[in-house]
Structure 1
Amino acid sequence: MAQTNQTCRSCSDEFAVNERQMERLLASPAFAPELRVPVEDYEARLQACQECPKFQGGTTCMLCGCLVPVIAHLKSKSCPYPGGSRWADKKPLIL
């Protein structure tokens, strides 16, 4: 029996979240500036996710199903990676 690489239904192109939808989410009161991490922390979170084997399609965490480019903005959120957050103490390298 051949194995297929199945993903969740919402990860298909038909259900992909576009840039306009993400911008609308980020404009909501749930993402007010005081609830967001600093830009440097946000960028470090995105980098950590891009290096994660559970990151799929450039937007989705396969562990929790969240839209990483949206959720990574919030102070109240953390990475669900088993054994410890991949976001912990992540800072971009300054050369």
Structure 2
Amino acid sequence: MLRKQEVSYVGTSVASAEEWHLRQKFQGIARDVFGDGVRIKNGQIIRFRDTAARILTNAGWKPAGTARMMQAGHILREHAEELASLVEITKANLPTESMRTVKEGH
């Protein structure tokens, strides 16, 4: 039996659809690093992805299971200052510990 699935995209080009899918994937990583009140800036998703990949590669990280995902989050939080210019605060809440660390330059 066939299932009907409706998919909607913001924008009209294939590039817009690709960016939308990337945003869905990497927004969770941005929240893990900076907290719930943060989103990746418009037009910065590919740069965010590439920067995060470079940071993890330089740290010697390799994907393999849940423990590795927790380790990746820890590595990215340690290098949050490199990703900070690619995100924006969306909620008027107190900055998370990660955001305070980035602002203080630690």
TM-score (structure 1 length as normaliser): 0.30
Largest Rg, 1 or 2: 2
Q: Which has the higher helix share?
A: 2
